[in-house]
Amino acid sequence: MSVAAPLPAPQLIDYATEVRARTHELIADLSDAQLMGPQLKIVNPLLWEIGHMAWFQENWMLRHYQHKAPIRADGDSLYDSSHVPHDSRWDLPLPSRRGTLDYMQQVLDTVVAQLQAGEPDGEATYFSLLSTFHEDMHTEAITYTRQTHSYTAPELTIERSPLPGPGGPLPGDVEIPGGHYWIGGTRDMPFVFDNEKWAHAVDVAPFAMARAPVTNSAFLGFVLEQGYQCQEFWSPEGWTWRHQSGAEHPLYWRYDGEWLRRNFDQWLPLEPYHPVLHVNWYEAEAYCRWAGRRLPTEAEWELAASAEPTADGSGITSHKRRYPWGETPPTAALANMGWQSMGCIPVDALPASDSAFGCRQMIGNVWEWTQTDFGPFPGFAADPYADYSQPWFTGHKVLRGGCWTTRARLIRNSWRNFYPPHRRDVWAGFRTCAL
């Protein structure tokens, strides 16, 4: 049994209703045809995806925890992602848009009534948070699906942060002393996913890490110097991918008298000091070889985000920060998250976000590839949602830090994301380390 630190019912209800309202906003302006979209291996049909979110909430909060009968007799055959093949999801007898929305509301109403019936214990809190965080992740996926299909940017009723100016680069490295350090989730955290369990000791050699992620301007140098055409910069797997894909620059870039970037359905001048976005692990690796750099390991990334130097700067203390800047949860002054800027911001913005060593924006703005293969930590045991991590321990790379669509309640320094190295559609970039 998995439990979390109990939270009051009003907070869990607020999370569940707020994320469901965000889901509705993200698809409200789309036509029925757009809710299905073209069949692609990298995204789901959105009509299926929103029904799946409700099914997941029902499965864990009502059926698993409360042992209630299914609301839909066909729910498992439609929405169980562990058993419904991806490519079949466009051909399923899905309910209509209205039928899907009604199902989502019925599940939410039942869950809210359940939470109102009595003060949630640790198990109820765990499954309620699991359902909310699962939907949080899917709202990020809906956003990049809209980007993939060239749909318009979503219109959301959120308080927007004032956009920073054009900004500038944040060049240079910070020197980070190595040491004996603990990476992973700690037992005092209110909720931890199974792939973060548990914090364990690693030995990290001293290293130098870039203060900021690689910018569009810096990556353009790689493009202009024919980096995509030079096999010497690519691993054998990466070169095979580049040859098969025909890629000559990052996804959603084009040259039309000037370099442009597609942002949803609009082509915009390439922002020189925004982090490069929509590059896969192979592209990040090739850029690093071209630049005489390397990707950080997962342990290096977490140490840079979480550790604090000793007074003389020669080592690290045993204290482990939850966020790069400390223990305060993310705010608009600390991280670009939750659609507040509706896109990336310059890499030199938000100086208050700096880690103890001076690395900026390690949380928010853009997911960051690491060189590490995604795998279990020592002593790994799957949580009740066994398919969250375990099926993906082969063929995936670890990303850290969150992006501009990630929810603040979801992220922390120990949070591990993972994608296959060929994925370019997600909100991913990278920062580098010295060799």
Q: Quick one: pLDDT at residue 112?
A: 98
**374 DSSP assignment:** P
Report the alpha-carbon angle 263-269-274, nearest 5.
Answer: 75
pLDDT tens across 302-317, in order? 999 999 999 999 999 9
CATH architecture, domain defined by 169-435: Alpha-Beta Complex (3.90)
* Contacting residues for 232 by C-beta, under 8 A, at least 6 apart: 289
Provide the phi-psi class of 401: left if phi over 0, else alpha when psi is between -120 and 50, else beta: left
User: Is the bond into 198 cis (omega within 30 degrees of 0)?
Assistant: yes
Domain segments of the chain: what residues?
Answer: 9-148, 169-435
> Mean pLDDT of all residues in the chain?
97
Question: Residue 372: enclosing H or E segment and its boundaries?
Answer: strand 367-373
With tokens 């959603």, the residue in question is 252
- Is residue 93 exposed (0-12), middle (13-18) or buried (19+ Cβ within 10 Å)? exposed
CA distance 130 to 119: 18
Q: Which residue has the tokens 């992973």?
A: 184
pLDDT tens string 192-213:
999 999 999 999 999 999 999 9
User: By C-alpha distance, which of 373, 362, 371, 281 is closest to 326?
Assistant: 362
pTM score over 0.85? yes
Contact (CB, 8 A) for 201 and 181: yes
Quote the pLDDT of residue 3: 79
User: Domain 9-148 classified CATH 1.20.120.450?
Assistant: yes
The predicted structure's pLDDT at residue 210: 98
Q: What tens digit of pLDDT does each residue of 236-247 get?
A: 999 999 999 999
Element (H or E) spanning 402, and its range?
none
Q: Give residue-wise pLDDT tens across range 331-343.
A: 999 999 999 999 9
pLDDT at 2 exceeding the cut of 80: no
Please determine whether the domains at 9-148 and 169-435 fall in the same fold group of CATH: no
Provide the CA 113 distance to its chain's centre, in angstroms.
31
Q: How confident is the model at residue 1 (pLDDT cuts 50, 70, 90)?
A: low
